[in-house]
Structure 1
Amino acid sequence: MAATTPRPCVVSILFFLSTFLAFANSVVDVSGNSLNFLVIGDWGGMSDEPYYTVGQSKVASVMGEKAEKIDSQFTLAVGDNFYEDGVKDVDDPRFNETFEEVFTAPSLQKRWYAICGNHDYNGNASAQVAYTQKSARWYMPSFYYTEIFNLSSSNITIQFVFIDTVILCGLSHPKLRHLPPSGPQSSDLADDQWAWIESTLQQSTADWLIVSGHYPVWSAAHHGPTDILVKQLRPLLIKYNVTAYIAGHDHDMQHLKEDDSSVNYFVSGAGHEVDSSSKHEDSVPENSLKYRYGKSDSEKHGAFGVVTINDKIMNVTFFNHHGRELYNTTVERIRNIH
């Protein structure tokens, strides 16, 4: 398959990586005995007025209710933040029209940890990094970065490793959505990030280690597994006892886990619509698909995830745009168990 034509914003990433890439390793203290947060992916509205979708608006409303109920500390946004072609610059009105003025609940005014998806690279992805300096809650200090949380009551640490899968894998085809990403546009940039990922995972002493990127490793839906991530990221997740990999890209909700691995794979890509495709159910390991939510009827308006982590378990719940619970699973801690 021929690679897609490089876009100027991806080529210019070299400059912005050198400008913004600060691999912060700060520790955020969290009072109480649990870390509570929301996960939403592929939520980025639309290119035309009113710049948000009905599904996105419904999901935002329910997210506010759930965030208040669990006292959510942050939201994880796993890419495709602005459809169809990202933003033009740091002053693009889409930041207000699709983000600030949609997710308005007081409980959602806490930090949003964001990463870029393929649609974000159709525009100026670097502007989303720069917007960190303008917004009180948008947080993307670089294209890939890490953050550590410490539960003060138990001294349990949870480390998140946020990666940029477009740098690693390239852009997906803009129209032929079933085709895999075209391969990295800069092998040097991809190699640099791979080295950083392994180093970060290797050095982690966290009790919980979670990696998040836009493209999924495994997916049973329309896009399916991401070959490069299956070949290169999956072995690292297993080797370094990563608890979970959280992604988007496919517009549904999934939980996958291989029988001979402790890594859980979650897809939360239904931020403004749900796709019914199960095109790649035969492309994931046997018995690995634990749950998939994909509808194309009246339920198509979206879904999101709620996660709670304490010293012993990680609880993951999927909700639809009505606030109805779709799925719940509990993952036991596998790191630093004595």
Structure 2
Amino acid sequence: MEKHLLLFVVVLFSFSVASAIDSLRFLVLGDWGGLPTIPYRTPVESSVAKQMGYITEKYDSKFNLALGDNFYFDGVTNDDDKRFQETFENVFEDKSLQNAWYVVAGNHDHIGNVSAQIAYSKKSTRWNFPNYYYFLSFPIPGSNAKVDIVMIDTVLLCGNTLHDFVASQPQGPADKVVAEEQWNWIEQQLMNSTADYLLVAGHFPVYSIAEHGPTQCLVDRLRPLLQKYQVTAYLCGHDHNLQYLQATEDGVTMDYFVIGAANFVDTSNEHADAVPAGSSKFFWAKYAELGGFAFAEATPSNMTFTFVDGLGKSLYAHILYPRKI
């Protein structure tokens, strides 16, 4: 307990002196996609947007990772869909949030037209969704260190779910050839990366103690790749809460962050027994605190992930260290 309190103090102190050091800072949110009818947003989404704007302006965060379920409940129909304005542009309207957004699709997006979300990249200066899956690389200022991020489409890999608001596993990929192409691409990106920090980001969780629980498809196929190629952490949404899990399996320790509380908040932890024993380190779901997101800061010596609630309070932090490759 004392170790976590000390870490929390260190993170708060680093926030206060952030401008004095060279680092790469970015935000992560998932399951943020508003409502299909008026007011096209939830109180949680609005509060998360406000706090993201505040942190981005104060700490010079460079970009945002949006981890799917971008438009509840049925995605969008075309690249002129009013939801782009009503649920995205008009909500994340702070001047500071006109920075880059890097997007992947969730299960609700796949009910609609994901290709329209990709096409919207040509209409927005900040919406970056070049393909269903893609690779990002960012230098850490003032150093030779870098952060690589492999953005993946877990619905194409594993299939969609029948129901989102009850426990439901993906039903298998709609196109096995397309799925295998992406699996091969993922392994190639992980194999080729020499970055100090290597992140993989998708929608479905590998491990989660919440409503949906672990995604068996990803446990079986993605987890071994994360271990083999010394991935720093896996980031996801899908379950509507904030979680940090650390699992040691086959002699390899892996970090998992669930960041799915930017529109709804779900207190379920019904899959607590479905993850490796002792792996659940932090779980948070409080609607009264209006959801949450994550703030990441990478320096050559470490990367810190901090969960922040919709009122701007730092909830929990974990420090990651450079890969040994």
SS in 2 for 1:263: strand
Distance 2:41 2:59 in 1: 26
Q: How does 1:27-38 map to 2 (within 5 A)?
A: 33-38=22-27
Q: 1:312, CA displacement in angstroms?
A: 1.1
Identity rate, percent = 48
Q: How does 1:90-239 map to 2 (within 5 A)?
A: 90-174=79-163, 177-239=166-228
Distance 1:99 1:185 in 2: 28
Q: 1:199 to 1:175 in 2, by over 3 A?
A: closer
Q: 1:33 to 1:68 in 2, by over 3 A?
A: same
Q: 1:41, CA displacement in angstroms?
A: 0.3
The residue number in structure 2 matching 1:255 is 244
Distance 1:308 1:151 in 2: 10
Confirm whether residue 298 of structure 1 aligns to residue 288 of structure 2. Answer: yes
Runs of 4+ in 1 over 6 A off after TM superposition: none
Return the match for 2:278 from 265, 284, 287: 287
Q: 1:173, CA displacement in angstroms?
A: 1.2
Distance 2:219 2:100 in 1: 30
* RMSD over aligned Cα atoms: 1.2
Q: 1:298, CA displacement in angstroms?
A: 2.4
Confirm whether residue 77 of structure 1 aligns to residue 62 of structure 2. Answer: no
Q: 1:103-161: CA deviations, max 9, x gaps?
A: 01111110000000000011111101111111010001000000111124111011100
Q: Report the AA paired with residue 139 of structure 2.
A: N
Tell me if structure 1 keeps the 8 A contact 2:208–2:271: yes
SS in 2 for 1:219: coil
Q: 1:318-338: CA deviations, max 9, x gaps?
A: 1111111111111111234xx
Q: 1:206-256: CA deviations, max 9, x gaps?
A: 111100000010000000000000000000000000001000000000001
Q: 1:174, CA displacement in angstroms?
A: 2.8
Distance 1:319 1:306 in 2: 7
Confirm whether residue 273 of structure 1 aligns to residue 260 of structure 2. Answer: no
Distance 1:176 1:248 in 2: 14
Q: Report the AA paired with residue 140 of structure 1.
A: F
Q: 1:176 to 1:38 in 2, by over 3 A?
A: closer
SS in 2 for 1:147: strand
Distance 1:326 1:152 in 2: 27
Q: Report the AA paired with residue 107 of structure 1.
A: S
Tell me if structure 2 keeps the 8 A contact 1:274–1:294: yes
Tell which deviates more after alignment, 46-55 or 163-172: 46-55
Distance 2:37 2:267 in 1: 24
- Unaligned stretches of 5+ in structure 1? 1-31
TM-score, normalising length: structure 1? 0.88
Q: Report the AA paired with residue 69 of structure 1.
A: K
- Unaligned stretches of 5+ in structure 2? 1-20
Tell me if structure 1 keeps the 8 A contact 2:24–2:141: no
Tell me if structure 2 keeps the 8 A contact 1:241–1:262: no
Tell me if structure 2 keeps the 8 A contact 1:218–1:256: yes
Distance 1:153 1:241 in 2: 24
The residue number in structure 2 matching 1:10 is none
Structure holding more helix per residue: 2
Distance 1:176 1:34 in 2: 38
The residue number in structure 2 matching 1:240 is 229
